[in-house]
Structures are given as structure tokens and as C-alpha cells.
């Protein structure tokens, strides 16, 4: 499934923080990572954090949009029901 993610780099620790409501009413999953936003390090850290949180292999989590943005889109091999159960 496609999952919209808002990334906060250079945080104190890596963590999935829950849903973040945007001004237009859409939701993004808020993820904080300690990695700096340089040379893809933060995006890789988000991938690793999401894989650990959802219990899927790192190779199954792919950034499909927003490599250099705070707003990213990830493809994650889970169902909508699993997503809602875990969050």
C-alpha cells in the first residue's frame, strides 16, 4: 500500500510518531529520524524505521516520491487493516 509520510530529520531518536493532520484535511504518518538529510541518509533511515515498525523486510519498503522532501510517499507491503491495527 502507498503511505504518505512526513519526515523530521536530525531528531533525538528514530520513531514512528502517529498521524499528522495537514491543513487540507489529508493525513501523513509522522516519522522522526536521527539521520541528517544529506545524500539520502534520512530517507534510508525512514525506510529502516518503517520496516522495523511494520515488521516487514527493509527490501519491501520503497520510497516512491519525495526523496529530497519532508513529504514522502512509501510503498509498504501491508494491508489497510494491518496499518490501522498497528497505529
pLDDT in tens, 42-73: 999 999 999 999 999 999 999 999 999 999 99
Q: How many secondary structure helices (H) and strands (E) does the chain include?
A: 2, 5
How far is it, in rounded angstroms, from Cα 41 to Cα 79?
A: 27
How far is it, in rounded angstroms, from Cα 15 to Cα 87?
A: 13
Domains along the chain? 2-86 (3.30.1200.10)
pTM of the complete model: 0.92
Q: What is the DSSP letter of 58?
A: G
Amino acid at each position: 500500500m502507498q503511505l504518505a509520510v512526513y519526515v523530521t530529520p536530525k531528531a533525538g531518536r528514530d520513531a514512528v510518531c502517529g498521524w499528522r493532520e495537514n491543513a487540507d484535511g489529508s493525513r501523513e504518518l509522522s516519522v522522526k529520524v536521527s539521520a541528517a538529510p544529506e545524500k539520502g541518509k534520512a530517507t534510508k533511515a525512514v525506510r529502516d524505521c518503517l520496516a522495523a515498525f511494520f515488521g516487514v523486510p527493509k527490501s519491501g519498503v520503497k520510497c516512491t516520491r519525495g526523496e529530497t522532501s519532508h513529504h514522502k510517499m512509501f510503498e509498504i507491503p501491508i494491508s489497510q487493516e494491518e496499518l490501522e491495527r498497528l497505529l
